[in-house]
Structure 1
Amino acid sequence: MISTRDLENLPKPDALRSLLQALALLDAILEEEWQYRYYSFNSKWSATEQMGSMRNGSGDDFFAIFDSAGCFLRGFAHESAMTPWRETPPTIWPGVLEEVPPQFENSLKEPAFHMEDTTFCIWSLASDSAWSRGSIEFPANEDDPDGSLWMLSALDGNPTTYQLFAKEYFELDVGLDAITRVFAQEPLSVELLQAFPSSRNLQDVIADAEEIGYPIKP
């Protein structure tokens, strides 16, 4: 299990970027409409940044920025004990953002990330060997006080984790071999697309893959 209290098994930034690209492509294959997808990835977020995200449609989300500085990831679980909305006016839990390195200052100010709704934040500088978070006194008697346990544990890199997710979220039975091929970054092709329970047109999925930055078979 992965959470802000135990980040050891969270993939390192380069591996996390690859995983989020794979998850975004899998969602694109299974769901035609972007607004109904759970994971997305924009390889051209800016001239120097790439961005992966999760939105569950119920108000919970995370955004991960990848650039030369490293990776910055903030998340929001609206029903968690550490939600800013536990108080009036809303207040981010002490320690969550105070120690974010200055290299990620632009992300802290990014309007699209609605930082005022943050319940957890982690980062890894390019020079770091591990993920970091702020110095936080977590609320007592809470298994997942900031929502990071259920959000980050889904990023364990195990194809079975996505298979179970697709069954619940999309109500589709997806073959483990097909998911594994995408996790391995097999270039998108007719053959790969046919391995999924999807009626999507290859050219449309290629357009998604180009935005995601996922490889495409020539």
Structure 2
Amino acid sequence: MSVHEVIRRLPDVGTVRRVSRALAVLDLVLNEDERTRYYEFDARWSETEEAALMRNGSGDEYSIVFSPDGAFAYGFDHESPMSPYANDQKVWPGLLEGVPEVFHAARDDKAFSDEGVPRATVCFWRTTDDSAWRSGPVEDADRDGADWLFELVADGRPEAYLTFAEEYYEVALDLDAIRHVYALMPLTEYVVTSLNRQRRLSDLSDGIAEIGYPRS
């Protein structure tokens, strides 16, 4: 499944932002080692932007930058034949074609590039004026990695995170606690310990502030 199919599945920008924030909080609760967390969310990416980030530790990643103009996303599957590292440090034809000017700063952000070349096999965006997500006219994109990179934000259900996390962290989890976080309801001690008996709400204050998750 390529970016063209994935953007048809993605919910609106507000829902993608909400789910992204929830994913970061859930990983914050479940994983005490910030170096190995899968999902992060930076509510202070810039004065006007927030960013959802995924790093799986194996070289794959994505970024979704949220701004008053909408959202801009990159994804990178390091094994994809569309990788710039497999194409003389060039982005795949059509990948960045049509990116609106309001997203050029995110497109060119050094945080997402190596020597000026974006680490990207996937790119899509949605402005506040758009009625759907958009991408460039990328051909032969079936191996861009979009389907698995963005699976949880495209799915949007707490059950999807439950399946992912129980496999990734090898623990049984409380679905109701995950639903609580997906709804962006303020964390309680009960919710935190339901997810991770070793964590306490007081341990999470700095992380919660960085993510911009609602406080009680």
TM-score (norm 1): 0.92
Letter in 2 for 1:207: D
The CA deviation at 1:3 is 4.4
What does residue range 15-164 of structure 1 map to in structure 2 within 5 Å?
Answer: 15-87=15-87, 89-114=88-113, 115-138=117-140, 144-155=142-153, 156-164=155-163
What does residue range 182-193 of structure 1 map to in structure 2 within 5 Å?
Answer: 182-193=181-192
- Contact persistence 2:193–2:200 (CA under 8 A): no
The CA deviation at 1:23 is 0.3
Distance 1:127 1:108 in 2: 19
The two structures, once aligned, show a CA RMSD in angstroms of: 1.4
SS across alignment from 1:5: helix
Distance 2:197 2:143 in 1: 37
- Contact persistence 1:65–1:107 (CA under 8 A): yes
**Deviating 4+ runs (over 6 angstroms):** none
CA displacement, residues 91-126 of structure 1 (integer Å, 9 cap, x when unaligned): 111000121111011112211112522101000001
Partner residue of 2:206? 207
Partner residue of 1:10? 10
Distance 1:136 1:101 in 2: 16
Partner residue of 1:196? 195
- Contact persistence 2:108–2:118 (CA under 8 A): no
Higher helix share: 2
Distance 1:5 1:168 in 2: 28
Distance 1:32 1:133 in 2: 36
CA displacement, residues 66-114 of structure 1 (integer Å, 9 cap, x when unaligned): 0111000001001012111222x22111000121111011112211112
Distance 1:3 1:185 in 2: 30
Distance 1:180 1:3 in 2: 29
What does residue range 167-178 of structure 1 map to in structure 2 within 5 Å?
Answer: 167-178=166-177
CA displacement, residues 151-174 of structure 1 (integer Å, 9 cap, x when unaligned): 122221111111111112111211
Distance 1:122 1:21 in 2: 19
Gaps of 5+ in 1: none
Distance 1:51 1:197 in 2: 25
Judged with a 3 Å threshold, the aligned counterparts in structure 2 of structure 1 residues 78 and 192 are, in CA distance, closer, same or farther, namely same
- Contact persistence 2:94–2:138 (CA under 8 A): yes
The CA deviation at 1:194 is 2.2
Letter in 2 for 1:93: W
Gaps of 5+ in 2: none
Distance 1:103 1:131 in 2: 15
The CA deviation at 1:15 is 0.8
